[in-house]
Structure 1
Amino acid sequence: MMGVKQRRVGRLLVRGLVCLGLLGITADQAWSDAAVWPVQMPYEAPPKSEPVPDVSVAPNTKALTPEELQRAEALLPLLEGKQEFWAMGEFVHLGEPVLSVVTKALAMPGPRIRYNAIETLSMIKSPAAVPALLDTAKLGTELPRIREHALRVAVRLDPMEAAPAIEVMAKDANASIRKAAAVEARYVRRKEVIQPLIDLLGDDERFVALSAVQSLWTVTRHETEFHDWDASSKQDRQAWAQEWIEWWNQSKETFEMPEPKSRKRAG
């Protein structure tokens, strides 16, 4: 009932304001003539919510028993299907000791199983999974989306180990793989990624070259002449790449990676 009454009052107020407008009278004038002024009620902050207790179960850190290993092996086929999220959660709970089992899924027939295995390794968050992930990322017979995901997760887990894989993927025949290498290189603070990025500046695909130059700016902070990379032709990009080639030939012996930019705290 209160809601209906409030809506009726609101409609009456709107109609009153419209009538005042038609008469050429502002709301302030109407309040002044009536010798009445609205008063803002003091703001009352909502009550603070009670802290929620942490009821999550910590991942396992102990070596798996033979029975647990056997159970983990039986979970692998479930990484595809209606129970895939449950299976992924079980692997995450088993923790780092289950890596040797989960990495087997990277070579299983189903592409969804392989993709979910990568996602599971991402949630386990162990750098020990990086070598297997990089092997998958470099595998030319693997699906591009799986290779890209494997590289992305490997870089998040241990970026310093990814430089050799980026060098291989930057030469791949698939343009989406070359772009993935160009994008992920900006998170790898090693000199070894600079030459592969420079090599990609003259790429046949403009989106690959644009990703490469953006990563070069991020990694080196080297300032170059302004060029319209978005509207460039391959000939343009090959010409502009010479600026980077000359700079790198002069600087690579003495170049040191700049310190990462610190994020400004809000407030």
Structure 2
Amino acid sequence: MRSMKNRAVKKRIWSAWLVMSALLVGAAFEVPMVLGQVPYEAPPKPGEVPDTAVPPSAKPLDEEEAKRAEALLPLLEGKQEFWAMGEFVHLGPPAAPVLVKALKMPSPRIRYNAIETLLMLKEASVAPALVESAKDPNEIPRVREHALRVAVRLHPALVPPAIEAMAKDPNSSTRKTAAFEARYVRQKAVVPVLIGLISDEERFVSVTAINSLWMLTRHESEVHDWETSSKQDRVEWTQEWLDWWKEAQGTFELPEPRRPRKPH
């Protein structure tokens, strides 16, 4: 008897639970959901951080600093090379003549890192030494190409002789570098050099040269499929540029470089 009563109680509890569940589910569907916006507070602006960097020196090196700079040259190769480059940057442009000496040292790694450090110093007076390195046929291609790139950025007006020399090099990578960097040299002397590279044996050198010519001169030449061209095609198309330059070189002026558009 008692068990029957227990079962009846449990049944009533279970029924009540089902009814409550149904009511809650129904309420969830009937009551519309309201989205609220939490107020946004912008994070505080960072305070000004004081510049604790020591600016490079502009004074000529004294005797002790000159000896220190000389001692740094061998360290431009090896585990301490980045530290040595930083020390030269700290010494500033007055250390540039010491770095130029590194261009004649036996290690190509030292020569390359010296060129990279000269770029960081932004000292235009070293451009003639870099041009000589770029012209040197006995220098390895990687160092020659880097010397040309840095010379173009420091003093582009001095670079045409280096571009002309590198355009005749047997190494196709060196010729391509000459063709590419020539687009940043606003001197008429590089135009015939680039025209000569249009008929290069390597298509990628030719394509680089024609792109530089278009950027430098904006001459509207005939449209050709340079990407799939043969050597014979490029020889024929070179003549079009030679004919144009023969007529235009006396009066032609390089147009001003295009400035990038400002974003709206």
Q: TM-score, normalised by structure 2?
A: 0.86
Give the percent of matched residue pairs that are identical in Structure 1 and Structure 2.
Answer: 60
1:266 aligned residue: 263
Query: 1:47 Cα deviation (Å)?
Result: 1.7
The SS at the match of 2:179 is helix
The root-mean-square deviation of aligned C-alpha atoms, in Å, is 1.6
Tell me, yes or no, if structure 1 residue 245 matches structure 2 residue 245. no
2:98 counterpart of 1:101: yes
Aligned equivalent of 2:181: 184
Partner of 2:9: none
How far the C-alpha of 1:33 sits from its partner, in A, is 4.8
Aligned partner of 1:124 in structure 2 is 121
Deviation, structure 1 residue 39: 2.5
Partner Cα distance (2:62, 2:101) in 1:
18
Residue 157 of structure 2 is aligned to residue 160 of structure 1: yes
- For 2:176 and 2:58, locate their aligned partners in 1 and report how far apart those are by CA, in whole Å: 37
Aligned residue type for 1:113: I
Q: Which consecutive unaligned segments of at least 5 residues does structure 1 have? A: 1-30
- 1:218 maps onto 2:215 in alignment: yes
Counterpart-to-counterpart distance in 2, 1:203 and 1:191: 20
- 1:37 is paired with a residue whose SS is coil
Deviations 1:198-236 (A, max 9, x none): 000000000100000000000001111221111111111
Q: Identify which of 23, 44, 49 aligns with 1:47.
A: 44
Letter in 1 for 2:58: T
1:37 counterpart (34, 37, 45): 34
In the alignment, which residue of structure 1 is the partner of 2:254?
A: 257
Q: 2:135–2:161: 8 Å Cα contact kept in structure 1? A: no
Partner of 1:207: 204
Deviation at 1:32, TM superposition (A): 7.9
**Alpha-carbon separation, structure 1, partners of 2:97 and 2:87:** 15
Partner of 1:13: none
- Kept in 1, the 8 Å contact 2:179–2:205? The answer is yes
